[in-house]
Amino acid sequence: SPKIGQKAYAIGDPKGLERSLSDGIVSRIDGSGLIQFTATASFGSSGGPLLNEDGQVIGIV
């Protein structure tokens, strides 16, 4: 499960750029399972995975 401060990687297709990767950290986790992260997520990134350093999916953008 994700932890505050751990590295996070978002993969998406923002503005038509296929398989774009951005990195950041998990900055907040609320009680309902929502994860706030600092990696850039632009229009077109929704539905892409949020990964930890081991490549495990920890969320969906």
Per-residue pLDDT of 10-47, as tens digits, reads 999 887 778 899 999 999 999 898 999 999 888 888 89
Q: What is the pLDDT of residue 19?
A: 85
Helix, coil or strand: residue 40: coil
pLDDT at 5 over 90: yes
- Which pTM value belongs to this model? 0.86
Q: What is the pLDDT of residue 45?
A: 84
- How far is residue 19's CA from residue 32's CA, in Å, rounded to a whole number? 29
The amino acid sitting at 26 is V
Identify the CATH number of the domain defined by range 7-60.
2.40.10.10
Identify the pLDDT of residue 3: 94
Domain residue extents for the chain: 7-60
The answer to whether the CB of 46 falls within 8 A of the CB of 14 is no
DSSP code for 55: S
Residue 60 has pLDDT above 90, yes or no: yes
